[in-house]
Amino acid sequence: MDFDYDLFVIGGGSGGVRAARLTAMDGHKVGLAEESRMGGTCVIRGCVPKKLMVYASTYPGAVAEARTYGWTAQVGDFDWDGFRTHLHSELDRLEKAYHTNATKAGVTIHEQRAVLKDAHTVALADGTEFTAKHILIATGGRPVRPEMKNADLGIVSDDVFHLPELPKKMLIVGAGYIGCEFAGVFNGLGTEVSMFVRGANVLRGFDEEARGHVSDAMQQRGITIHTGCAPMEVEKRGDRIWVKGSNGHTEEFDCLLWATGRKPNSTGLGLEEIGVKLDRHGAICVDAYSQSDVPSIYAIGDVTGRVELTPVAIREGVAFNKTVFHGEKTPVDHDLIPTAVFTQPEMGTVGLTEEEAEAQEPTLVYAAAFRPMQQAFAGGEERVLFKMLVSRETDKVLGVHIVGPGAGEMIQFVGVALKMGATKADFDRTCAVHPTMAEELVTLKDPVRVLA
Ligand SMILES: Cc1cc2nc3c(=O)[nH]c(=O)nc-3n(C[C@H](O)[C@H](O)[C@H](O)COP(=O)(O)OP(=O)(O)OC[C@H]3O[C@@H](n4cnc5c(N)ncnc54)[C@H](O)[C@@H]3O)c2cc1C
Ligand SMILES: NC(=O)c1ccc[n+]([C@@H]2O[C@H](COP(=O)([O-])OP(=O)(O)OC[C@H]3O[C@@H](n4cnc5c(N)ncnc54)[C@H](O)[C@@H]3O)[C@@H](O)[C@H]2O)c1
């Protein structure tokens, strides 16, 4: 049977664009539909604008520190309008680059919503239909508000980059990556920030000690964290939003940000009608090769609910291309993914948490918390944390957690070492780089705990 395309990709984000470009560069006929803006979540409303806001928010601290180094610097006012305009022109530039690079690679872009008609047919919003030998769903996810009265009074992460003005007082509900990162951003920009956290601490799922370290530092920097507290009632009161928490706390805010998680974009695509299975969260069920229950249909990235990170979506796109178009069955490797949470201070992590390591095998815990030279000189009290979990039996490093400036940059290279199967002895026989914070990784002496 002849098809219009060898591959049709739905979704022009991190994963979809990589898979489409590689496949087109292999000489195949590739179509891609994007209903919003090329680049997807990461480029338009995620990693990129978020990180630029993180940078913007660190200058007041840097200027205060600069004074202790002899500079007569003063922080002026923050020009939100000016920053936002600059931010969006940068996003426009990146969107264009995504468009141009995909087109140059030979991908035909359809700037419309696409849905599935059958196992080999997609229909665009304007009614045009195309057939394709393979269809790749890379539709990502979207932020969700809790199901409660007046939830629409709050904004979600997509809206943060379009705020007409910087809020003076803000409540962030939810303390995962997004809640904690934006808490640091707005706090740094001068907003008074409070958080409602359902559990006992922020950043559920991360190493207990590391998340405690981040949470203490966030509070020392001026963020108010209400733990064991979910919003029960939300009301508009004049210009402000009144919120009542499950611990009885009530307060008014200028802005409420729901950072309560994301959902896969899998509804209304016609997936279940043609036999593609979804899990109870709406994520597309795929095998190790990203293939769904319908053999011609594959899915990658956030819509599969595996690991919601840009580099993972990209790697899933690469593995898909190898499997389907090079005949090299390539499973996606989700083991030992390094990641950073761009809180202030930053957290970098790879491998097992202490809790996971303890459950798995006898473990030696190495940890050091100290004031780094640059901040100590400036009179800062904040400590960095370096933590390493080591197998008692094999000496293999099972996990590393770093909290402090540059943790994201450091963990990238620790990730390489762990991927190579590094032991504690390998770290120890590596000469330190002095004076750095990272030298702590190769000079951790005695375990602080032994977990039998
Ligand atoms: C605020 C925020 C900060 C983040 N920060 C980081 C970070 O620092 N580091 C990191 O690694 N990850 C980060 N992430 C996660 C990262 O952005 C995602 O994991 C990544 O973008 C997923 O890529 P994807 O290709 O699966 O989907 P997306 O990038 O979401 O792309 C999906 C695309 O499909 C389009 N689409 C959906 N349905 C249709 C349809 N029916 N027809 C046509 N088009 C459709 C959408 O418009 C979208 O453009 C962040 C996310 C958020 C929200
Ligand atoms: N730096 C990065 O790499 C980065 C940054 C941002 C996002 N991401 C990716 O995006 C994903 C989604 O991030 P996220 O922060 O939206 O989701 P998340 O699932 O990490 O956090 C959502 C939090 O909201 C809480 N919550 C839900 N409903 C609530 C309620 N009613 N009241 C109080 N709390 C409530 C949950 O318990 C959870 O802790 C992450 O898992 C991550 O993979 C990555």
Residue whose CA is at the smallest distance from ligand 1 atom 19: 309
* Positions marked catalytic: 434
Kindly give the residue spans of alpha helices, DSSP state H, lying in 74-142: 80-105
Check if 206 has its Cβ closer than 6 Å to any atom of ligand 2.
Answer: no
CA of 261 to the centre of ligand 2 (A): 4
Whole-number Å distance between alpha carbons of 371 and 351: 25
The tokens for 366 are 């190495």
Cite the annotated binding site for FAD by residue number.
51, 302
Does residue 449 surpass a pLDDT of 80? yes
State the CATH class of domain 5-142+263-325. alpha beta
Whole-number Å distance between alpha carbons of 143 and 174: 12
The tokens for 181 are 């990162």
Check if the interface score ipTM surpasses 0.95: yes
CA of 158 to the centre of ligand 1 (A): 11
Q: What is the mean pLDDT of residues 116-143?
A: 98
Q: What is the DSSP letter of 43?
A: I
Q: What is the mean pLDDT of residues 415-424?
A: 98
Does residue 211 surpass a pLDDT of 90? yes
Q: Which atom of ligand 1 is nearest to the CA of 17?
A: 25
Question: Can you say whether the dihedral through the CA atoms of 245, 249, 250, 253 is positive or negative?
Answer: negative
Q: What is the pLDDT of residues 293-314, one digit of tens each?
A: 999 999 999 999 999 999 999 9
Fold equal for 5-142+263-325 and 151-260? yes
Whole-number Å distance between alpha carbons of 96 and 36: 13
Whole-number Å distance between alpha carbons of 286 and 266: 13
Check if 339 has its Cβ closer than 6 Å to any atom of ligand 2.
Answer: yes
Q: What is the DSSP letter of 432?
A: P
Strands (E), 305-392: 339-341, 347-351, 363-370, 384-391
Does residue 1 surpass a pLDDT of 80? no
pLDDT value of position 181: 98
Whole-number Å distance between alpha carbons of 437 and 38: 39
Residue whose CA is at the smallest distance from ligand 2 atom 5: 177
The tokens for 43 are 């480029």
Q: What is the pLDDT of residues 337-355, one digit of tens each?
A: 999 999 999 999 999 999 9
End-to-end CA distance of the chain: 61
Whole-number Å distance between alpha carbons of 42 and 48: 6
Kindly give the residue spans of alpha helices, DSSP state H, lying in 379-423: 407-419
Does residue 386 surpass a pLDDT of 80? yes
Residue whose CA is at the smallest distance from ligand 1 atom 31: 13
- Coil, helix or strand for 24? helix
∠ Cα 296 307 359 (to 5°): 125
CA of 387 to the centre of ligand 1 (A): 31
Cβ-contact 110, 124 below 8 angstroms: yes
Cite the annotated binding site by residue number.
51, 174-181, 261, 302
Whole-number Å distance between alpha carbons of 344 and 182: 10
Check if 10 has its Cβ closer than 6 Å to any atom of ligand 2.
Answer: no
- Coil, helix or strand for 217? helix
Extents of the domains making up the chain: 5-142+263-325, 151-260, 339-451
Q: What is the pLDDT of residues 34-67, one digit of tens each?
A: 999 999 999 999 999 999 999 999 999 999 999 9
Whole-number Å distance between alpha carbons of 353 and 387: 10
Most informative mutation of 9, 34, 42 for ligand 1 (most atoms within 8 A of CB): 42
Mean pLDDT for all residues in the chain: 98
Does residue 384 surpass a pLDDT of 80? yes
- Coil, helix or strand for 245? strand
CATH of domain 339-451: 3.30.390.30
Most informative mutation of 42, 45, 161, 178 for ligand 2 (most atoms within 8 A of CB): 178
CA of 410 to the centre of ligand 1 (A): 25
Q: Identity (one letter) of the amino acid at 11?
A: G
Q: Which atom of ligand 2 is nearest to the CA of 157?
A: 16
State how far the alpha carbon of 379 is from the alpha carbons of 214, 375, 382, 437, 440, in Å.
Answer: 19, 6, 9, 17, 21
Check if 109 has its Cβ closer than 6 Å to any atom of ligand 1.
Answer: no
Q: What is the pLDDT of residues 213-272, one digit of tens each?
A: 999 999 999 999 999 999 999 999 999 999 999 999 999 999 999 999 999 999 999 999
Most informative mutation of 150, 156, 198, 403 for ligand 2 (most atoms within 8 A of CB): 198
Closest by CA to 214, choosing from 340, 379, 361, is: 340
Cβ-contact 279, 304 below 8 angstroms: no
- Coil, helix or strand for 418? helix
Q: What is the mean pLDDT of residues 178-188?
A: 98
Residue whose CA is at the smallest distance from ligand 2 atom 9: 308
Check if 17 has its Cβ closer than 6 Å to any atom of ligand 1.
Answer: no
Q: What is the mean pLDDT of residues 182-187?
A: 98
Whole-number Å distance between alpha carbons of 181 and 262: 15
In 3-state terms the chain splits into helix, strand, coil percentages (rounded to 5) of: 35, 25, 40
User: Could you say which of 3.50.50.60, 3.40.50.970, 2.60.120.620, 3.30.590.20 is the CATH number of the domain covering 151-260?
Assistant: 3.50.50.60
The pLDDT > 90 percentage for the chain reads 100
Check if 340 has its Cβ closer than 6 Å to any atom of ligand 1.
Answer: no
∠ Cα 388 202 444 (to 5°): 15
Q: How many CB atoms lie within 10 A of CB 33?
A: 25
Does residue 321 surpass a pLDDT of 90? yes
Residue whose CA is at the smallest distance from ligand 1 atom 51: 46
pTM of the model: 0.98
Q: What is the pLDDT of residues 86-110, one digit of tens each?
A: 999 999 999 999 999 999 999 999 9
CA of 163 to the centre of ligand 2 (A): 21
CA of 44 to the centre of ligand 1 (A): 9
Question: How many Cα atoms sit within 13 Å of 297 on the Cβ side?
Answer: 28
